[in-house]
Amino acid sequence: MPEETFKVWIDRWGLTPDGAPFASLGGRLLPVRQDGVAAMLKISHAPEEIAGGTLMAWWGGQGAAPVLGHDGEALLMVRAQGPISLAEMARSDQDDEASRIICAALDDLHAPRAGKLPATLRPLPDWFAQLRPAAQRHGGVLAKAYDMSRQLLADPREVCVLHGDAHHGNFLDFGELGWLAIDPKGLIGDRGYDYANLLCNPDLATAVTPGRIARQVQVVAQAANLEPVRTLQWLLAYAGLSASWTLSDGDNPAGALQIAEIAAAELGL
């Protein structure tokens, strides 16, 4: 992404650069200030990232970082400056509290909003499209995950707008504003889906610590008012989906498959 692209938005929104640009998987970002307010300018190039920017604006700062400007590929949002990391909390003796913080933020994101839904939202069944061919090709726990996904997607409950990538790194410390989300995928479907990814995080070593998934399923289910068994079912389906994405990228899906195996064992499958 040429730096000239940043300049267009710097001029339009009256921004002052406040750090070096850096890359993410979906685009480039530049710390800036607008009228003294610390902000982040993100220029996306992936369709799902652009859709995520639309959703961020629609959330209106309720559960997500406040948006100061949005136009197509460009998103300007308030910058998180708090010192606390949910990932570090989860790796220490505050794992339960980190999960509860994410659940509370998701409650805000899932709350109904007035007005028309963003046209860019993707239905959850479409999001699972890659799991079926992966299960047919590889079988094993991927077949169990696919069967579970079919069951869950055929019986959606509490359908709402979903973040779609709710892990510890996507909920940041905004100081007085609290813990707010960034980088959504922009999905719509069963509310339970949004809690599966946090059970796979903040990293594989933490997630597969003996007994950790069973405990966090109980913590999350209580905090989010979910059924523990259905939470495990979504975890199995999501871990299978994650493995199918990894396979399609030509990478090793061992981590996601390990989590899927744990979830299947907890379900007695």
| Residues 64-108: tens digit of each pLDDT | 999 999 999 999 999 999 999 999 999 999 999 999 999 999 999
Q: What is the Cα–Cα distance from 165 to 162, expressed in whole angstroms?
A: 9
The token pair at 84 is: 């606390």
Mean pLDDT, the chain, rounded, equals: 95
Say whether domain 3-78 belongs to CATH 1.10.3710: no
- Residue spans of the domains in the chain: they are 3-78, 86-266
| Residues 98-156: tens digit of each pLDDT | 999 999 999 999 999 988 999 999 999 999 999 999 999 999 999 999 999 999 999 99
The CATH number of domain 86-266, selected from 1.20.1090.10, 3.30.420.40, 2.40.128.280, 3.90.1200.10: 3.90.1200.10
The band of 4, judged by pLDDT with boundaries at 50, 70 and 90, is: confident
Q: What is the Cα–Cα distance from 77 to 61, expressed in whole angstroms?
A: 9
Active site residues: 165
